[in-house]
Amino acid sequence: MLNSFEAMKLPLKAALAFNQAQMQSVAAGFDIVKNTQDLANNLTRRHINLLIPGCQQNGDMQMKLYQEGASSLLNLFKESLLGQLNRFHQHRAGELEFIKLFTEQCERQDWSVEYDPSNILKDLSIN
């Protein structure tokens, strides 16, 4: 039975490691998309007068609204995906902790404390 529990720990550890890498990849991917989008929006805002002469104020306001909307949508997707991945991670970590209860040796309890007969707790249960 102990060998079976030990064998169950290996795929759980692998799933946790893979899930951790997946969460980091998703977060990094969304950050790259957001940074690229911010760069494109900032370049467009800076040079919008060259693209459409006379539209500096309205174009700048529209680009700012677009950038804020796209940024909030990306953050929503990122939080949603990372939340699902985090729940999976917590579930698998809980399973691994449960299996560790049966596979790892508990530390030895030391009962070598000095015994004082005058310091005994009384059993208050009614007989």
CB 94 within 8 A of CB 12: no
6: in domain: yes
Mean pLDDT, range 41-45, rounded to an integer: 81
Question: pLDDT exceeding 70 applies to what percent of the chain?
Answer: 73
Checking if the pLDDT of 121 tops 70, the result is: no
The whole-chain average pLDDT of the chain stands at: 82
pLDDT score recorded for residue 89: 94
Q: What is the count of structural domains for the chain?
A: 1
28-38: pLDDT as tens digits: 999 999 999 98
The helix-helix angle for 2-46 and 56-103 (nearest 10°) equals 170
CB 66 within 8 A of CB 81: no
User: How far is 36 from 40, CA to CA, in rounded Å?
Assistant: 6
Nearest to 77 by CA among 38, 34, 40, 41: 34
Mean pLDDT, range 11-31, rounded to an integer: 94
User: How far is 38 from 44, CA to CA, in rounded Å?
Assistant: 10
17: in domain: yes
Q: Which domain holds residue 55?
A: 2-103
